[in-house]
Structure 1
């Protein structure tokens, strides 16, 4: 049983009867196996307490918390690296597989299209079956299709394999926020997010850098074969070190164990009580529809999704054209052009490490001022510097490239752009985790849907935009949009966030 027992009439009756057990003078099993956290109101309700055999993940030792976080972070590294590894080799792949420039960019971007739809399924499933089986299943799926990419001898096979590999890779976007919300308390949100993002953000630079050297030194196919070998090692290593973090799943497992050990079927969890009388299909449809319901009917999710979509689109627009800029305008080799992605990586990594502790510091100070009452809006203040730095970085990067300024100026502008976007995005991600603690994975999937679409779409029109406007006015246009969209957003969330949250429908 996984919290779905619509057809089990005996269990339904037992759970219903358990709520009346005290009135009938019944006593719960008192043997050494029974470790449920009973309350005076209902002795058969299984929940976390000091006597519970399996601890609340939020109370785990720090070493165990960081181990789980680290496993997820390392897993994210390979999946994100594969999303960008093709960038320096697009022209080479296009020539060999007879693709035009748009088709070549699509072969890279279609991976991101899959990350729009994958979390819509993977996120809810992790809230029904738990994080562990979903993580391992999607890791194997990603391994298979990424390996197939290396054996693609026509553009159709490559694009299809990239799409399917991206579906498996997309699990990291749904599971990341969910696991961090499972394990870390709000006071530790910034630090955990910052360190969790450290390794995946390195992948943004390592991917194109590695892709450039592989393409020059051997065939581009080794981009996929080498990352598949790495993925296989990661799957093997993650099995013993990744523990289940989803609290309702842990409690369901304990309730099932108690029912089997005691022979008393009245032990149940809050999640199981919600599912009483529901069919398997109803539970799955309710869960699978949750991300889209959040996106359609929850203004907080809509705001966060639009902001992250714009930022993510900008990031992948820069990633898809950055190498091309240095090859065509600065006449550098493919491998040398890949080195410039280090600037993008540094901007994001520094932002994550600065923004995380700063977020916790601001949260703690504002919590003290509100007499110890926390609020998700306490994440918002650090979005303001991020929203200011983003357009500044766009202007600097665009006009430095337009005027053929020294490469370090262009790189600094790109780093500043990514620094600003990462600071703002990290704060908004923490805001969503705090606002939707019960369904963080579904909320993350809802916002991921829009940003993956823009990450897929923005690179497709980037070549024509820069060809028509140049890097200067092309980036200036994007900077003006960043000013209009990005700067008012933190103020609006700060002012109206509490009111919108108060009117929000249940995420169940």
Structure 2
């Protein structure tokens, strides 16, 4: 498999120069240009006050919470529809599979939206993507609530997913702008909880809303959440380095009557140069994530693992109501309450991540930095991704929380498979849900940290877009056949089949500890590890 990056997928640099050289221009101060002695041609970004990592803690926390809230409502919208599926089926006179399509097509929209939005954030900044996409998301949710046919409902929810999805992938990139690699564990854990708590609480909220007000109100409640959570975003600042430097150069150009643009050409990012070419922009926005997914083994393998566990969660939104209504006779509200097990699992997983970061990861990273103090000092005078990598622990440090998760996941599936039956109290499969939710979050968090720490701010958003593509495509497909599979095989063997697949994939995090460094060396994209 050829992992060489085509020129059209690299952010453009002057002919004969590499993006890594551009990184050097942006990372370290140097002597002033002899032609422009009053203006530095290199920027010491590490100590720059506009660097988001130098902001006050309160401001960085604010810029962590806002993307998390938007990501929460985006994923809440995916599953809040499911309790009203039966009502939709009756109102529009369609089959069960067709009634699931608005749920699956929304999830499909979550897959394709980041292909454009994430690389656009690398060209135009993170803030612009939030402001353009989220209001349009709200408009399509509004249209979903007023839909008069299953076709219009499906189309509106598909485009709602497309425009809501950037908060998921761009949010990861925003946090990589704000927090240094050794600081990212807790902020990333907060953000990563959103794609799990959102769809977990969706059936709970939707169950009560659909029972009292009807399925249309599940869409309008989502709109209320969107309006409330988008409002704080108006106070956000741009976090992406290259966009900040681009705007700074433009301000200086206006102040100097145009001369500054020529003098500050070296601080203009290669991403902004790519934006000048329509063809290059299209290749960056659509081609790069797909190319990374196909040619980068790191992204391909982790995306497959995360996509499988994520698709299982989305499949369970359709399967759990059937399981608990069949085995225990639960009504609509009670079926929604069963998803509390997944929610508690997310909380347990988050607490485990925090404890691991404090008791294991942080001391381990401190010991690494102490043992590699001289190497870090040398990295301080080197530019680019390789210099930053030498000053940070290897990305494999982030995989420690995936080890228990990879073992807990199949155990939870087998426990649910053979305890969800009338002869065993319903609390036991709920406990299995909790273990599944915790394992799911641990694995997802580890994979997200690994990808962001490996590809950094420059390509991290595209890496997450590639991961999101496969994740949500499978998440859209699984619910379409999961009910038929459970009806044909029964709860025991249907869930066990998923458990056997998870056993086969459990060794992936362990394998990257051994071969991760070798794969990064073979990568066609600049890696920071």
Compute the TM-score of the two structures, normalised by the length of structure 1.
0.89
For residues 133-282 of structure 1, the aligned pairs below 5 Å read 133-199=128-194, 201-240=196-235, 242-263=236-257, 264=259, 265=261, 266-272=263-269, 279-282=276-279
Q: Secondary structure at the match of 1:439?
A: helix
The Cα shift of 1:25 comes to: 5.7
Is the 1:65–1:183 Cα contact (8 Å) retained in structure 2? Answer: yes
1:56-104: per-residue Cα shift (whole Å, max 9, x none)? 1011111001001111111112111111101222112111111211111
Q: Partners in 1 of 2:501 and 2:123 — Cα distance?
A: 39
The Cα shift of 1:451 comes to: 0.8
Change in Cα spacing, 1:126 to 1:100, as seen in structure 2 (3 Å) is same
Partner residue of 2:450? 431
The one of 452, 457, 461 equivalent to 2:477 is 457
Change in Cα spacing, 1:80 to 1:274, as seen in structure 2 (3 Å) is closer
Q: Partners in 1 of 2:88 and 2:113 — Cα distance?
A: 26
The Cα shift of 1:49 comes to: 5.4
Q: Secondary structure at the match of 1:352?
A: helix
The Cα shift of 1:306 comes to: 0.7
The one of 290, 302, 310 equivalent to 1:312 is 310
Partner residue of 1:322? 320
For residues 386-405 of structure 1, the aligned pairs below 5 Å read 386-402=405-421, 404-405=423-424
Partner residue of 2:104? 109
Q: Partners in 1 of 2:427 and 2:273 — Cα distance?
A: 62
Coordinate RMSD, CA, aligned: 2.5
Partner residue of 2:41? 44
Q: Partners in 1 of 2:238 and 2:355 — Cα distance?
A: 27
Q: Partners in 2 of 1:356 and 1:346 — Cα distance?
A: 15
Is the 1:382–1:427 Cα contact (8 Å) retained in structure 2? Answer: yes
The one of 345, 353, 356 equivalent to 1:355 is 353
Partner residue of 2:281? 284
Partner residue of 2:21? none
Change in Cα spacing, 1:101 to 1:276, as seen in structure 2 (3 Å) is closer
Partner residue of 2:335? 337
Q: Partners in 2 of 1:407 and 1:84 — Cα distance?
A: 22
Q: Secondary structure at the match of 1:88?
A: helix
Change in Cα spacing, 1:276 to 1:425, as seen in structure 2 (3 Å) is closer
The yes-or-no answer on 1:445 pairing with 2:465 is yes
Q: Partners in 2 of 1:125 and 1:498 — Cα distance?
A: 29
Partner residue of 1:63? 58
The Cα shift of 1:330 comes to: 1.6
Compute the TM-score of the two structures, normalised by the length of structure 2.
0.85
Gapped runs of 5+ residues in structure 2?
Answer: 1-10, 15-24, 373-391
The Cα shift of 1:204 comes to: 2.7
Is the 1:362–1:379 Cα contact (8 Å) retained in structure 2? Answer: no
The Cα shift of 1:349 comes to: 2.3
Is the 1:122–1:134 Cα contact (8 Å) retained in structure 2? Answer: yes
Q: Secondary structure at the match of 1:329?
A: helix
Q: Partners in 1 of 2:60 and 2:146 — Cα distance?
A: 39
Is the 1:4–1:279 Cα contact (8 Å) retained in structure 2? Answer: no
The yes-or-no answer on 1:410 pairing with 2:424 is no
The Cα shift of 1:404 comes to: 4.5
Gapped runs of 5+ residues in structure 1?
Answer: 7-15, 30-42
Q: Partners in 2 of 1:346 and 1:95 — Cα distance?
A: 33
The Cα shift of 1:357 comes to: 4.1
Is the 1:359–1:427 Cα contact (8 Å) retained in structure 2? Answer: no
Is the 1:386–1:420 Cα contact (8 Å) retained in structure 2? Answer: yes
For residues 81-120 of structure 1, the aligned pairs below 5 Å read 81-120=76-115
Change in Cα spacing, 1:467 to 1:245, as seen in structure 2 (3 Å) is same
Change in Cα spacing, 1:447 to 1:49, as seen in structure 2 (3 Å) is closer
The one of 488, 498, 509 equivalent to 1:468 is 488
Is the 1:401–1:410 Cα contact (8 Å) retained in structure 2? Answer: yes
1:316-352: per-residue Cα shift (whole Å, max 9, x none)? 1112221232233322221121111111111022202
Partner residue of 2:400? 381
